[in-house]
Amino acid sequence: MQQAVEKTIKLKAELEGLTLWGHDIDVLLKRCDDSGIGIDVPKYIRDKADIITHWEAECRYYPITVVRKDSIKKTYDVLVEWLGQGKTK
């Protein structure tokens, strides 16, 4: 789920002419904001950026990491809705 959020941000930034690198959702969002591009990121993703970022490494390298299913489902639902909105503003 972290990669889906990361790749969506990178795609929307690329559509606006900004190429992003890295995995940290907070950093990616800050680069977008600093560049003044119009990516309308859902509040839930902004609010949970740090938690979502940690899923990337923790779940991959520490298989005993517990991530609540409802957190993953909520992130999925928000992401699907966001993707359904089409091109960035």
pLDDT one-digit tens code per residue, 34-72:
999 878 899 999 999 998 898 766 556 556 655 667 888
Give, in degrees to the nearest 5, the angle at Cα 7 between 11 and 73. Answer: 125
Residue 40 phi/psi, 5-degree rounding, is -90, 85
pTM beyond 0.85: the answer is no
* DSSP 8-state class, residue 87: S
Q: What is the pLDDT of residue 25?
A: 95
The one-letter code for the residue type at 15 is L
Report yes or no: 1 and 79 within 8 Å, Cβ to Cβ: yes
Domain residue limits, the chain: 2-84
Residue 24 reports pLDDT greater than 60: yes
Report yes or no: 10 and 3 within 8 Å, Cβ to Cβ: no
